């Protein structure tokens, strides 16, 4: 357990003549930068060179725009070759919005460089204030039904990952719907509260917007919005336990007589009448594995337990593909 709320105020409560030089590092590559900060990887980019920040300077990294989100506040430490070692990093857990730091802050949108001394002070004080008291504003969530969710909300969900889940973000995270691991930059943000908010007409607070935002894989996101029967059919097919391909498994139809006038469904296979036991339910055209779901074990799992179940792969002869039998 760390006592992070104490981390920032000491910087801000320095006497006015001791306010460190503050470098504004506004990143255009908002998604990659937010993931780099949230996962703590060294892909987080800091300005370099003789004109850039030196030991003792503060770098404020901002991503997105209108209003812009503070991704990190770092006190520069020693250099290690070309790379900075930041002694002190604040964030990213709590939402802090750039535009709300002081009036006139929005004029700095998407720019990088040294802040004038009076604005450096206002920025540090403003960050400390929002950090302690919560962000004052909220933002337009965007609409993931018809287009894209706001990049600001997307990065706030990524930066707030530790607050939401209680653990650090990894470069691959589970889809919040199907639980499969996907690279974080490929996970889509879905606004789960949009429908209820549209019905009630209520404006959601920033914290509520963030907790309503779920990171899901593309196929799951498609299921959450309007889509065709064909798309749903493909998405609901189980992944092959042997080659792990998704969306292509075919249901095996047993005991069905095939005759000439019958229109054969290309998305199923006809297994015939010689039904093996145990009976496979699905056929994978990629690797020819056939498998059944619903293998039942009898071990109790508590809510906190997390022992992975061994994969079950029934090895039975492949059924006939859905071609019309020779006459």
For Zn ion, the closer of residues 147 and 302 by Cβ is 147
Is the separation of the CB atoms in 67 and 37 below 8 Å? no
Considering only CA atoms, which of 35, 59, 34, 56 is closest in space to residue 46? 59
C-alpha 136/C-alpha 205 separation (Å) is 9
Restricted to residues 213-242, the positions that interact with Zn ion (CB under 5 A) are: 217, 220, 240, 242
Restricted to residues 147-176, the positions that interact with Zn ion (CB under 5 A) are: 175
Which token pair is 67? 């209003």
For Zn ion, the closer of residues 177 and 211 by Cβ is 177
Which token pair is 225? 């919005």
What number of chain residues touch Zn ion (CB under 5 A)? 14
Is the separation of the CB atoms in 179 and 187 below 8 Å? no
User: Per rule CB under 5 A, is residue 14 in the interface with Zn ion?
Assistant: no
Dihedral sign computed on CA atoms, order 96, 101, 107, 111: negative
Pick the binder of Zn ion from 109, 164, 178, 258 (CB under 5 A).
Answer: 178
Which token pair is 109? 């949108």
What value does the CA radius of gyration of the chain take, rounded to a whole number of Å? 27
How far is residue 175 from each of residues 38, 126, 149, measured CA to CA in Å? Answer: 17, 35, 17
For Zn ion, the closer of residues 94 and 190 by Cβ is 190
**Interaction mask 263-302, Zn ion, x per CB under 5 A:** ---------------------x-xx-x-------------
Q: Of 69-77, 89-97, 212-220, 306-314, which segment contacts Zn ion by CB under 5 A?
A: 212-220
User: Per rule CB under 5 A, is residue 248 in the interface with Zn ion?
Assistant: no
Q: Of 137-145, 201-209, 268-276, 314-322, which segment contacts Zn ion by CB under 5 A?
A: 137-145
Q: Of 80-88, 118-126, 153-161, 211-219, which segment contacts Zn ion by CB under 5 A?
A: 211-219
Task: Tell me the residue length of the chain.
Answer: 327
In the complex, the smallest distance separating the C-beta of residue 79 from Zn ion, rounded to whole angstroms, is 42
C-alpha 321/C-alpha 271 separation (Å) is 8
Helix (H, G, I), strand (E, B) or coil at 117: helix
In the complex, the smallest distance separating the C-beta of residue 293 from Zn ion, rounded to whole angstroms, is 14
In the complex, the smallest distance separating the C-beta of residue 263 from Zn ion, rounded to whole angstroms, is 26
Residues binding Zn ion (CB under 5 A): 144, 175, 177-178, 190, 217, 220, 240, 242-243, 284, 286-287, 289
């Amino acid at each position: 357990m760390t006592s992070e709320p104490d981390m920032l105020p000491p910087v801000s409560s320095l006497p006015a003549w001791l306010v460190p030089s503050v470098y504004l590092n506004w990143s255009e590559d908002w998604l990659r930068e937010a993931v780099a900060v949230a996962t703590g990887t060294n892909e987080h980019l800091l300005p370099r060179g003789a004109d850039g920040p030196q030991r003792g300077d503060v770098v404020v990294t901002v991503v997105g725009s209108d209003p812009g989100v503070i991704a990190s506040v770092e006190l520069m430490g020693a250099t290690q070759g070309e790379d900075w070692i930041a002694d002190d990093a604040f964030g990213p857990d709590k939402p802090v919005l750039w535009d709300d730091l002081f009036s006139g802050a929005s004029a700095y949108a998407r720019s990088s460089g040294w802040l004038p001394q009076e604005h450096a002070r206002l920025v540090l004080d403003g960050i400390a204030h929002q950090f302690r008291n919560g962000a004052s504003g909220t933002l337009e969530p965007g609409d993931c039904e018809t287009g894209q969710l706001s990049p600001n909300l997307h990065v706030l969900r990524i930066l707030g990952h530790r607050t939401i889940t209680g653990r650090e973000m990894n470069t691959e995270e589970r889809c919040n719907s199907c639980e499969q691991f996907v690279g974080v930059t490929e996970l889509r943000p879905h606004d789960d509260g949009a429908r209820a908010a549209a019905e009630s007409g209520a404006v959601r607070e920033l914290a509520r917007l963030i907790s309503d935002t779920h990171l899901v894989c593309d196929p799951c996101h498609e299921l959450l919005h309007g889509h065709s029967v064909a798309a749903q059919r493909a998405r609901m097919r189980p992944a092959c336990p042997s080659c792990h391909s998704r969306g292509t498994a075919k249901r095996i139809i047993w005991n069905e007589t095939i005759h000439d006038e019958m229109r054969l469904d290309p998305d199923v296979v006809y297994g015939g009448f010689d039904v093996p036991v145990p009976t496979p339910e699905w056929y994978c055209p990629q690797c020819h594995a056939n498998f059944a779901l619903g293998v039942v074990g009898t071990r109790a799992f508590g809510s906190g337990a997390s022992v992975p179940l061994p994969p079950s792969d029934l090895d039975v002869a492949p059924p006939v593909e859905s071609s019309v039998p020779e006459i």
